[in-house]
């Protein structure tokens, strides 16, 4: 009886062992001889991955470099913009002055009025004081000042400068009475 049990146990052990061996065989890794095409594909995949990583790294670096350069240029522009603006202002003033001299072709203007014509040494005044003093912001040209405005403008400056005519006859050239009505 004991012997039979022993044999049965041995058989069982054998069967179990056999089963586990079979299972092991089924789980065993695929044969080491991977088809060469698959191997090559794997290698290629690895290589592309590496290249992609490198490209990402380098483009990042290039972007940073370009950004730095742009920042440097912007700084330079900002630093030079102010002097350039001032220079342009200077040049504009010079051009304006030159233009004023060129446009003052009218040597003198005669301002007719009932109190006797007034002859204004136009060019002399223009070159000394510019156009805006008398013409304002408008484009200089023929203009009618009117008595009060004219007196205020002309006499006002002459008094202020303590130079230039301030009495009636110095400005108004009255016609001789005897010549009137001829």
Q: Give the footprint of ligand HEC on this chain (CB under 6 A).
A: 100, 103-104, 106, 109, 111, 113-115, 118, 120-122, 124-126, 129-131, 133-135, 140-147, 150-151, 153-155, 157-158, 161, 163-168, 170-172
If the CB atoms of residues 21 and 103 are measured against ligand HEC, the closer one turns out to be 103
For the bound state, the minimum distance from the C-beta of residue 79 to ligand HEC, rounded and expressed in Å, comes to: 37
24 vs 177, which CB is nearer to ligand HEC?
177
In angstroms, the CA 141 to CA 3 distance is: 142
Q: Are 146 and 87 in contact (CB under 8 A)?
A: no
CB of 73 to ligand HEC, least distance (A): 42
Instruction: Give the residue among 130, 125, 129 at the shortest CA–CA distance from 108.
Output: 125
> Please, what's the b/e burial string for 73-89 (b: 16 or more CB within 10 A of its CB; e: otherwise)?
eeeeeeeeeeeeeeeee
Angle between helical axes of 122-129 and 36-103 (0-180°, round to 10): 140
Q: Are 127 and 101 in contact (CB under 8 A)?
A: yes
Question: What 3-state class would DSSP assign to 113?
Answer: coil
Minimum gap (Å) between residue 112 Cβ and ligand HEC: 7
- Residue 150: CB minimum distance to ligand HEC, A: 4
Closest to ligand HEC by CB, 80 or 143: 143
Measured from the CB atom, the residue of 19 and 98 that comes closer to ligand HEC is 98
């Amino acid at each position: 009886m004991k012997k039979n049990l022993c044999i049965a146990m041995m058989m069982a052990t054998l069967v179990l062992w056999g089963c586990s061996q079979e299972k092991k065989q089924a789980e065993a890794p695929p044969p080491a001889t991977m088809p060469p095409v698959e191997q090559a594909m794997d290698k290629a995949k690895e290589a592309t991955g590496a290249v992609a990583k490198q490209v990402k790294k380098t483009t990042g670096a290039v972007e940073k470099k370009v950004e730095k350069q742009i920042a440097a240029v912007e700084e330079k522009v900002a630093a030079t913009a102010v002097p350039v603006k001032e220079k342009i202002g200077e040049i504009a003033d010079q051009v304006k002055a030159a233009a004023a001299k060129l446009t003052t072709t009218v040597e003198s203007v005669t301002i007719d009025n009932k109190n006797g014509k007034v002859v204004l040494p136009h060019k002399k005044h223009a070159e000394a004081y510019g156009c805006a003093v008398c013409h304002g912001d408008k484009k200089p040209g023929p203009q009618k000042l009117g008595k009060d405005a004219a007196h205020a403008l002309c006499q006002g400056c002459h008094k202020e400068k303590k130079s230039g005519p301030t009495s009636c006859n110095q400005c108004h050239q009255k016609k001789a009475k005897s010549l009137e009505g001829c």
